[in-house]
Structure 1
Amino acid sequence: MKKSIFITLFSLFSIGLFACPVCDKQQPKILQGIAHGAGPDGNVDYAIVIGMSIIVLITLFYSVKYIVQPKETNSNHIKRTILKFD
């Protein structure tokens, strides 16, 4: 069971790792071998991707930060109604 789950997950994640030869020729030098489809049309496309990447990284940082250390110490916080501490 574990082996089949591992193989399935590995197959799903490895599908998009390498570009096909046709797509590889269409990409700029920095994206060759990793991206599929037509290359970016201009600097606006790069700016959009960089902006979205920054937003995702900031969101990931704060998500992990507040999951690890939420800093909610108020005794009447909403989590106290769900969690029962002894």
Structure 2
Amino acid sequence: MEKLKKILTAVLMLAATYISACDACKSQQPEITKDLTHGVGPESDWDWFIVGIVILITLVAFYYTVKYLVQPGEKSKDHIKHSFLQ
């Protein structure tokens, strides 16, 4: 368990350097995404609209994923999950 903690810590520390934006990219980004991403920021209002739609789709998909994992709602005795569980 201790070895796993050390490996996980090392991976997260290395990932943190790649996740945050470099200094050159920070100067090109708008204030809201300054520390989050590399490259040039959104160039028009349509870019922000597209980002908003993608965020909305992601949140809806995440909601339904959690909902159906926690309580799938299948009550039929001949459902395939019962043959797998037995």
When the two structures are superposed, what TM-score results if normalisation uses the length of structure 1?
Answer: 0.82
State whether structure 2 residue 44 is matched by structure 1 residue 42.
yes
Percent identical pairs in the alignment equals 37
In structure 1, distance between residues paired with 2:34 and 2:43: 15
The amino acid that maps onto 1:54 is L
Distance 1:12 1:67 in 2: 31
SS at match of 1:34: coil
Q: For 2:62, which of 60, 63, 67 is the aligned residue?
A: 60
**Could you tell me how far 1:12 is from its partner in structure 2?**
4.5
Which letter maps to 1:81? Answer: S
Unaligned runs of 5+ residues in structure 2 are none
Stretches of structure 1 that go unaligned for 5 or more consecutive residues are none
Calculate the aligned-residue CA RMSD, in Å. Answer: 1.6
**What amino acid is the match of 2:36?**
I
* SS of residue paired to 1:15: helix
Task: Pick the aligned partner of 1:19 from 11, 21, 24.
Answer: 21
Cα distance change, pair 19–55 in 1 and its aligned pair in 2 (3 A): same
Moved beyond 2 Å, runs of 4+: 15-18
